[in-house]
Structure 1
Amino acid sequence: MDYRDYYEARDIVTEILKKDFLGPLSDDEIICDERPLDYYIVGKLYPQSSGADIALQSPTEDIGELDNEDCISLCNGRNPSSCGISFSLLPNISRIRVTVRAARYKVITIKEAQETLGFPDGTYKDNSTFWKREEISPDDFDIDIDVLQPGSRKTYTVCDKLSLNVFLHKIYPDGSKTITLSLVNENKSKESARYIEECEDAFFQPLISVTSPTLPAFRDIRRNVQINKDHEIEELEMLYSKVRSFASGHGCAVKWNTDEAGNATEIKTDFLPTFEIKQMMPSTLFEHDVLSMKYLSESSSEAVINGLNELTEKYEQWIEKQVIASKELAKEHQNAAAVNLSKCKQTLIRLKKAIKELKNPIVFRAFSLANKAMFMQRKQMLKNTGKFESDEKIKWYPFQLAFILQETYSFAKPDSEERKNVDLLWFPTGGGKTEAYLGIAAFVIFLRRLLYGDDGNGVAILMRYTLRLLSFQQFERAAALICACELIRRKEKIGGDEIGIGLWAGMDLTPNYIEKAKKILNGEKDEDSESSNPAQIKKCPWCGAEIPAQEPYYSCDIENHRMHIYCSNSSCEFKTGLPIFLIDEEIYHYKPTYIVATVDKFAQVALNESTAAIFGIGHGVRPPELIIQDELHLISGPLGTIMGLYEAAIKKLCEKDGCYPKVIASTATIRNANEQIKALYASGYTQFPPQGIDIDDSFFAQISDKSQRPARLYMGCMAIGTSPTTMMIRVMSALLYATRYLSELEYDEKVIDSFWTITGYFNTLRELGGAIVRVVDDIQDRFIYLKNNKFKNLYPLNNCKNRYDRYKELTSRESSENIGNVIQEELKIAYTKDNTTNPFDFLLASNMISVGVDVGRLGAMVVVGQPKSTAEYIQATSRVGRETPGLVITTYNQAKSRDRSHYEQFTQYHETFYKHVEATSVTPFSDRARDRALQALYVILCRYSIPELLHDSSAVNFKKDIPGLIDIRNYILNYVSWVDPGEVDNVKKELDDIENEWARKVYRKEKLKYRKTKYANYNDVLFDPDYDEGSRFRVLNTMRSVETTINVITKE
């Protein structure tokens, strides 16, 4: 795809934004009837105030001691009087050259303005105020650093009341130096000053540019900071060792130009910093027929194995090159490089073992059929969307094929060490992770049926998500694959029942019982959940035909526990019924092969004996063999902590002949994965693809050129002298204007559409709620002002409307059904030049957008305030610019130190995105977690391991000497010893308490049940509601029943 027009259009948009925020509109511009301090929102130096607002701590505290009245502190107030940059010089550099530019605005008469602008008499009132820009461009300053002493300052006059301050912080033992340059407005504000005086005493569009007659001159400022690092940080430092940070800003951002060797040649201030992030893309280092899905499904084992061997040979050659290149790394990176390359070699060994296993005819046939299923579903999806690809072009990316190949060994050899570890698929958002684990799922399905026949019935795969929205989206994708697998099963006469897929997501999405589903389909409301809707499948996942939400297409068979879904296309292979299960009752009864679930649903395992069917317990079928956990970074904090306890039970329930299920996780943003996976799954882990020695190249993934994949441009804006709300209005209205201006330039409507809908990301629902009012009111007023005044001549809009206020909200306040409809239908409505469509002007979203929203036409986003975590920032902003070049504008609140820090370090932060992802915390066996869910873990294992305790009425059968309890206790304690050895004694004591309390309840209640039903109240049940904090048997109804705040208790 040719992206040149998109990049050109994006450049025009950013140019308009810079003109509006920073200026000037022209070098000799005249501003009519508006204060320059209001006309522009960034790049302003106010007169110095004597108030407390300048007394904020200097961000340069860590560089050296500063005088109490240091001028840098003047950049931190609401109305800053200075801006500056800090940088380090190499030991041999003694001179630098500094260029300074600025402007001020002076009042002129209406006559002077008329002579310049040529407006007719009577255009303005006689008392109108006109401001004329005056450029300040003194000669460059040649500064001798050697004359300065550490801690000393030298001041240079730029012009009247504007000075350049040079401050030498420190000379290091190697002779390098840290310097701060600052521009200071020496004017003093007067409480009685009129607005004219305040504006005339201010300076605008300031610039500091530093070069040196001797190059290279600048060194990485981080080299002067020595901190203790763990291995993961050492690895990140090594991976990003080519990326250097040459300066930091004070009250502004900073940018630098570099030569071919990566050395900075010029450093300068920047008030609207930008950084373009290029996408990672699957490797192009390997091209072969073996990447073709059709080739893999039709070729002989010998041909396939030979092709796969060529892939591993290429990978081995790449590793050898990295080993040689690693010797050129700095000494401090050698250890991290050796560790990483060792991981690469281990991956190579795994791939070779998997290839060898393909010589087993059953394993190879499963691999071949899996590729056939993937080929069929991909070809069918292309057909449904009106696209055409030749069979040869329907292929895997090398990383997908290698990952699938690597995983096959864990199932061909279930007792292998590889089976025990969690495999983490790490690949940037939108890179093709879902396809990879769908391929693995297909392999597991066929291998299980080929090996075990009818015994291979039951649930083979559990795929879990944290959000219902994401669960349903991925369910739709997986449904097409399952349809292909079922067609192959029929044609190839493979043993076992129908290959089906179930959605296990809770009654907020679908009802739990067939009888309720029938009532809803007949027009009756479900009293338990108004949003519950059994008719979730709108289109046939195989042929794409519409499926009306009515009889006969949805048919409820209460007697046989089945809601049949029929395709409306008489030519479709599934006109007699789709292998899809949406109701809990039919999932428990038919045990579909592949279940897509929300993590919340697993809280029901403790409460509902019917869930035993999912694990094959009491049904004569094997338990699930593969657990897929997508978006692993979301399984953290309170949710991850509770999940970690339940995970101990799930792992045991899926055990078969001493073998536990294989867990595959995926994410694009994670840190501290080792500890998180250990806490969640009591397991080690391996990452695929393993990193080499450069973040831009892991063989399987490499950085793309902006002509190969669309690049996303980030822009930072920290308005001064105004409120965050006003900044948001200014930014959104300017972006609205700029994107509408594209339609005046006759760009293709696809280019215009890619920037048409502006996505607003908000950190809280309160901020989002306030923005709705602004979108329909203030932003529209500002748009009209830009159209009729500020940009009337420079960027005229002649064919546009006066209002663009059509918005959509995407938050948790919307029902699951509505959100799905918004993403799948409404947001895909595109702009057309003939105005036959009505796309949204704004999409206002909370953090819900950061997961699972994939709308290719979205290309512009405003992030209102730095999100709480880098992972969230990466995930949210990657929702735009996925298919075409994107633009993200992040607004920073100058009153928040964290926002200010991100703004002042804008380039460094964005250039090393993934390095800044925060570590997550999961503590499943901590005090509070045990209080909430240890009893659930124990009861689950008792119910499903000891037959006489399974049924809901069997809670009364518990005895402390019942056979099997010792094994359960030992399993839990061994699990804890792996996850958190320090808590083993506490867990042991609490297990005693749980057993004693259960025995007491049995003694007091002759008909003790597990949970409340319409036949048993809480007085006759083992479990108490979660809000009963005093109960040893309080139980969660959902994983989300977790407090968002905690009380801190001090122990003496």
Structure 2
Amino acid sequence: MNVAFEGDTEQAFGRSALEEALSNVGAGGLSAEVRVSKERRRGRSELFVQVVNTSPANPKARDGNVLSRQLYEVSLQIEGLETQPYMLESLPDSFRYDRRIEAYGHNCGVEAEGGVFRSADTIVVDGGRPEYGTPSPVQPDLSFETLADAPIEQLEILVASFEKWVDEHWEETALLRRKEENGWDDRMMDEALGEAQKAHLEALRIRNGVDLLRRNDDLRRAFKLMNEAMKHSATKVDGKLKYEGWRSFQIAFLLSTISSVLRDDEGDDFVDTVWFATGGGKTETYLGLLVTAALYERIKGRKTGVTAWSRFPLRMLSMQQTQRFANALAGAELVRQREEIPGAYISLGYFVGRESTPNRLAKRPKSGEPDFNDPDMPGRYKVLLQCPFCKHDSLDMGFNRELVKLEHRCNRRGKGCPWKMPALPFYVVDDEIFRFLPTVVIGTLDKAALMGFQASIAGFFAPPNGFCSSIGHGHVYAGRASKKNGCLVWDCEAPVKPLIQPAHWYGLTMRLQDEVHLLRDSLGAVDSHYESLMDHVQQAFPGGARCKVIASSATLSGHDRQVGVLFNRPGRVFPLQGVVSGESFWSSQPDPGKTPGQLLRRYVAVAPRGVTHEFVSDRTVEAMQRGVLRLTKEPEVVCTEAGIDVAHASRLVSFYGVNVVYGNTVRDVEAIRRSLEGQVDVGQLSLNAVTLTGNTSFAEVRKVLNRLEEPEPAYADRIHAVAASSMLSHGVDVERFNIMVIHGLPLTTAEFIQTTARVGRTYPGLVYVLHRMSRERDAASFRQFVPYVKQGDRFVEPVPVTRRSRRVLDLTLPGLAEARRLLVHERTADKALTMIQQYTAFLDAEGMSPQVELEELLQALGFTNEDDHVLRRHVMQWLELWEYSLRNPAPNIVFPSKVLPHGRAPMQSLRDVEPSAPIHTGGFDRD
């Protein structure tokens, strides 16, 4: 082995030390030349070690241990070897993907190019910004303005182009040619032919949507008005548009599902999932469908009622997501008024829960409940960031004592705001949502648990009991001792009027489930029973039918099975992926290395050695903040060094001056926040750090988002770092989030995809992933980081979820049984069944034996297979025990809910899967 030094490397490191460190490189009979030099790479000095094989007879060698001294880093380069790639055994073979990995690094990254392998301390992967135009030479005009005027011609261009593309790319001869070129085996060819069939069906559904719009005048009118509403939604406060129209995949999904708006489509049995990369516009996609449904139903005569319930899996629902819904529905209401379409205001309900908004406003509030006598109380429940009609942030909160309403009010009413009423059509109190049945309800998954103990939620699925004759009181439900007429307003005794529309117009048209891939484990299992309960209740009243289910997801792993478990329906994904990964009719994924200006995100995998994650994270944030601070003080110098026009300096400071530091648990985030404040030294700058987790108060989240959207003029006063948990990773879109540091690989790949998608939404983003190499999963991810990023969806873990669990039945049966009493039997009886005596008399009169209840519950849950006999017996034993308790209650027990078996009450939340234990303090001397 020959060692050759260049420059001052021999003096810096010492010949003997390097020769000793590299001595075993030549073991095994390898003849090699080793050239050592110091080079400037990536803006830093590195010791560059190159090993060149000069003995083809023995191409195998062992890596030598290389010493690193002073501030230099060591790179080992190997070339001239005959190599074979590794295969990613963790991924299945597929005709769309390449599973080959050129080289693995142990405790280091590997850069491979042209037969040259070079070690690196980091692994860098660049992701391109998707291009959403179609490959057709004739591009349709999908602007809101054009589709609001004359949509059919442009939609015809889109669907004809897609049909042609499908024929060209998915035709069997084309697939056979690809098979020969890429070495597909027969199994891969069969997979491709199966996908080809799905592509043709997808084109047919889109074609059917265009034909339906052409034939149905009312639906076409609703579609055109929807485009006007979405244009209003996209309009900023200065009158400019954030976006002028639809991406092709968005309008295609709308066309493929628009038949469900009619409520008579056989395709409603499918769960249609819109799948696209995070940031691609999924929210606006299904918002367009909801607004079309709302306008169509108003045109056809539906005056009120909940058209859609959109549910999110996280406790902290993003206020930004809510604002998007409000803006779109405000646009729909403005066009409804202009077109003089009869009916109630098109409105939005925020259905989250008492930790964010009140369940009810009590006349005599108890300690801890919202007190209407407190002048500051309304302001604590402000949800909207701006008026959805005029887009100004001039919103106040107030309490309407006469109507018992908590109201969002625009201060520009009569001064330029197109909304003329005192209160916005936006409801945040549960009781108000039940009274007014907003057109769309947006909220958290957990609220489905109310079906087990809140009779007023019946208005979501079936007609309410009537309408209160007092103006402004809204719908009424089954009477109770404190509400004899069923009105939810304090002390109301007004007569009940008939409903203002036919009964068949009540009940949901659609349920939307956002981020469906997060419904897993116990949460998914419990939710699957409540999804079936919602279908059951809606089908129970005369003329009722289960509604359409729409879902969105950022991942597809195990989608069909998961959807089948959750909703007891078949699943269907849109759009279908192209023949080649990253390439489809709807979008393409450019290589940012070959296409300047197309960088979406740069991922940097880091494997800290000899230091803690906190140290590396703090030094990373410190270096970034020092760089930004220098840019604020020496803009001309820094911009010249970077080759950037100094005119962009202030924008660079704004868009790269906020660092997001992500932790996997709330405990991690709290430690990150303390470390940022105590360990990061940015010289004269005092680092301003904030925390965003599920425990962050509603008011604090709103305050932080406002500061991020409208940063302070002086850089020193702004937020510099955000320590965040998974609360940030869904629905939070902040243009200024472009740098992120992740402490340890997120617990699931889906979370990694969602989390990293928070940065680089508009401008190129930078993501540092600090791997915990002591964990096997992190170490494996580091070794295969390039495909982990490039083929991220394939690494998503199959979703563990089942509905056939006796333990889950123990949790859900109380709620299921009570929901049938409150939402089904009370409707049949047309009176309250709140007392045991009333309820048992009804059961006897209707012949509702435990056996009948059993069949109803099993049918609702889908437990109808022969192998479900164990579950059948379990449910029967529970019902028989409840029947006995109802017939033999203790003398002081009068309510059916108090004799539920095993003393288990209906779930208060779908997350209440473990018993809680009280923690008491006291008895200890603090000193």
Shift of the 598–977 alpha-carbon distance from structure 1 to 2, 3 Å rule, reads closer
Counterparts in 2 of 1:594 and 1:134: CA distance versus 1, 3 Å: closer
- Matching of residues 172-251 of structure 1 within 5 Å: 181-184=62-65, 205-212=73-80, 217-222=82-87, 233-234=92-93, 237-241=94-98, 244-251=100-107
Change over 3 Å in CA distance of 1:867–1:914 after alignment to 2: same
User: Which residue does 1:62 correspond to in 2?
Assistant: none
* Paired letter, 1:291: L
Alpha-carbon distance in 1 for matches of 2:538, 2:133? 36
Distance 1:774 1:662, change over 3 A: same
In structure 1, the partner of 2:925 is: none
The answer to whether the 8 A contact 1:829-1:838 is kept is no
CA distance in 2: counterparts of 1:924 and 1:313, whole angstroms: 39
Q: CA RMSD in A?
A: 3.8
Among 685, 698, 704, the alignment partner of 1:803 is 685
Secondary structure of the equivalent of 1:887?
A: strand
Q: In structure 2, what residue type is equivalent to 1:212?
A: G
Aligned residue in 1 for 2:452: 606
Residues 891, 83 of structure 1: alpha-carbon distance in 2 compared, 3 angstrom cutoff: farther
Is this contact kept in 2: 1:629–1:666, CA < 8 A?
yes
Q: Secondary structure at the match of 1:285?
A: coil
What amino acid does structure 2 have at the position aligned with 1:310? A
| 2:47 and 2:75 in contact (8 A); partners too | no
**Aligned match of 1:846:** 725
Contact 1:97 1:212 in 2 (8 A): no
Please name the residue that 2:227 is paired with: 374
For structure 2, the 5+ residue unaligned runs are 1-6, 40-44, 466-502, 640-645, 918-927
Q: CA deviation at 1:807?
A: 0.6
When structure 1 is superposed on structure 2, of 564-573 and 680-689 the one drifting more is 564-573
- Give distance in 1, aligned partners of 2:371 and 2:292: 37
Gap change, CA 1:682 and 1:651, over 3 Å in 2: same
SS in 2 for 1:291: coil
1:997-1036 mapped onto 2 (5 Å cutoff): 997-1005=881-889, 1019-1023=893-897, 1031=902, 1033-1036=904-907
Query: Equivalent residue for 1:13?
Result: none
Q: Is 1:336–2:182 an aligned residue pair?
A: no
- Partner of residue 624, structure 1: 508
Determine if contact 2:140/2:155 at 8 Å carries over to the other structure: no
Distance (whole Å) between structure 2 residues aligned to residue 437 and residue 731 of structure 1:
39
Please name the residue that 1:698 is paired with: 584
Amino acid at match of 1:933: T
**Retained in 2: the 8 A contact 1:511–1:583?**
yes
Partner amino acid, structure 2, of 1:826 = R
Residues in 1 aligned to 2:882 and 2:752: alpha-carbon distance in whole angstroms: 47
Q: How has the CA–CA distance of structure 1 residues 139 and 761 changed in structure 2, closer, same or farther, with 3 Å as cutoff?
A: closer
Which of 270, 289, 294 lines up with 2:120 in the alignment? 270
Compared CA separation, residues 102 and 709, structure 1 to 2 (3 A): closer
In 2, Cα distance between equivalents of 1:460 and 1:587: 13
**Within-5 A mapping of 1:497-508:** 497-508=344-355
Tell me if the contact between 1:943 and 1:950 (Cα under 8 Å) persists in the aligned partners.
no
Report the CA distance between 1:646 and its aligned residue. 0.8
Q: What code does the residue aligned with 1:611 have?
A: I
Equivalent position amino acid for 1:1039 in 2? L
Cα 1:815–1:558 change in 2 (3 A) is same
**Which residue number in structure 2 is paired with residue 644 of structure 1?**
528
Q: Deviations over 1:565-622 (max 9, x none)?
A: 4553313231314222222112111111111121111111110111111223444342
Superposition pairs for residues 664-679 of structure 1, below 5 Å?
A: 664-679=550-565
Which residue number in structure 1 is paired with residue 211 of structure 2? 356
Give 2:310's aligned residue. 463
Alpha-carbon distance, 1:322 to partner: 8.5
In structure 2, distance between residues paired with 1:813 and 1:625: 34
Residues of 1 paired with 2:455 and 2:661: CA distance? Answer: 44
* Per-residue Cα deviation, 1:82-130 (whole angstroms, up to 9, x for no partner): 999xxxxxxxxx99988664789xxxxxxxxxxxxxxxxxxxxxxxxxx
Q: Indicate whether 1:574 and 2:419 are aligned.
A: yes
**Which amino acid in the other structure matches residue 827 of structure 1?**
L
Q: Deviations over 1:24-60 (max 9, x none)?
A: xx976999xxxx9xxxxxxx99999xxxxxxxxxxxx
- In 1, Cα distance between equivalents of 2:610 and 2:622: 18
How far does the alpha carbon of each residue in 1:375-400 deviate from its partner, in whole angstroms, 9 at most, with x for none? 344346424145258xxx72211101
SS at match of 2:355: coil
Q: Residue 514 of structure 1 contacts residue 557 of structure 1 at CA under 8 Å; is this kept in 2?
A: no
Per the alignment, do residues 313 and 909 of structure 1 end up closer, same or farther by CA in structure 2, a change over 3 Å counting?
closer
Structure 2 residue identity aligned to 1:541 = P
3-state SS of paired residue (2:125): strand
Aligned-pair CA distance for 1:305: 6.0
Partner of 2:253: 403
Q: What corresponds to 1:113 in structure 2?
A: none
Counterparts of 1:154-553 in structure 2 under 5 Å?
166-167=60-61, 181-184=62-65, 205-212=73-80, 217-222=82-87, 233-234=92-93, 237-241=94-98, 244-257=100-113, 264-286=114-136, 288-299=139-150, 303=153, 306-320=156-170, 324-325=174-175, 327-329=177-179, 330-332=183-185, 333-362=188-217, 365-379=218-232, 381-388=234-241, 394-412=244-262, 414-416=264-266, 418-451=267-300, 453-454=301-302, 457-470=304-317, 472-515=319-362, 520=371, 522-523=373-374, 533-550=380-397
TM-score, normalized by length of structure 1?
0.72
Change (3 A) 1:697 1:869: same
* Counterpart for residue 597 of structure 1: 443
Q: Is the 2:162–2:203 contact (alpha carbons within 8 Å) kept by the matching residues of 1?
A: yes
Overall identity of the aligned pairs, in %: 22
Q: Who is 1:688 aligned against?
A: 574
Question: Which residue in the other structure is 1:8 paired with?
Answer: none
Deviations 1:618-671 (A, max 9, x none): 443421011111111222122111111111101222337463211110011241
Report SS of the residue matched to 1:827: helix
Written as runs of structure 1 = structure 2, the 5 A alignment for 1:612-1011 is 612-619=458-465, 620=503, 621-655=505-539, 657=543, 659-704=545-590, 706=592, 707=596, 709-743=598-632, 744=634, 745-746=638-639, 747=646, 748-780=649-681, 783=682, 801-823=683-705, 825-830=706-711, 835=714, 838-946=717-825, 947-948=828-829, 951=832, 953-954=834-835, 956=837, 957-958=839-840, 959=843, 962-963=846-847, 969-977=854-862, 981=865, 984-1005=868-889
**C-alpha displacement of 1:438:** 0.8
Do 1:253 and 1:905's aligned partners in 2 also have CA atoms closer than 8 Å? no
- Partners of 2:10 and 2:341 lie apart in 1 by 78
> What amino acid maps onto 1:612 in structure 2?
A
Amino acid at match of 2:283: T
Change in CA separation of 1:661 and 1:513 when aligned onto 2, cut-off 3 Å: same
Question: Secondary structure of the equivalent of 1:247?
Answer: coil
Residues 1:1000 and 1:323: Cα distance change in structure 2 (over 3 Å) = farther
Does the aligned pair in 2 maintain the 1:641–1:923 contact within 8 Å? yes
Counterpart-to-counterpart distance in 2, 1:712 and 1:1044: 43
Residue deviations 1:2-34, cap 9 Å, x none?
xxxxxxxxxxxxxxxxxxxxxxxx976999xxx
Question: Would the aligned equivalents of 1:670 and 1:918 in 2 still touch at CA under 8 Å?
Answer: no
Where in structure 2 are the equivalents of 1:17-28 lying within 5 Å?
none
Q: Classify 1:414/1:838 alpha carbon distance in 2 versus 1 (closer, same or farther; 3 Å).
A: same
Compared with structure 1, are the counterparts of its residues 861 and 821 closer, same or farther at alpha carbon in structure 2 (3 Å cutoff)?
Answer: same
CA distance in structure 1 between the aligned counterparts of 2:382 and 2:773, rounded to whole angstroms: 49
The question of whether the paired residues in 2 share the 8 Å contact of 1:612 and 1:944 is answered with: yes
Residue matched to 2:485 = none
Q: Structure 1 residues 443, 376: closer, same or farther in 2, change over 3 A? A: closer
Q: How far has the Cα of 1:272 moved from its partner? A: 1.6
Are the aligned partners of 1:561 and 1:585 in contact in 2 as well (CA < 8 Å)?
A: no
Equivalent position SS for 2:879: helix
Paired residues of 2:806 and 2:874 also in contact (CA < 8 A)? no
TM-score w.r.t. the length of structure 2 is: 0.81
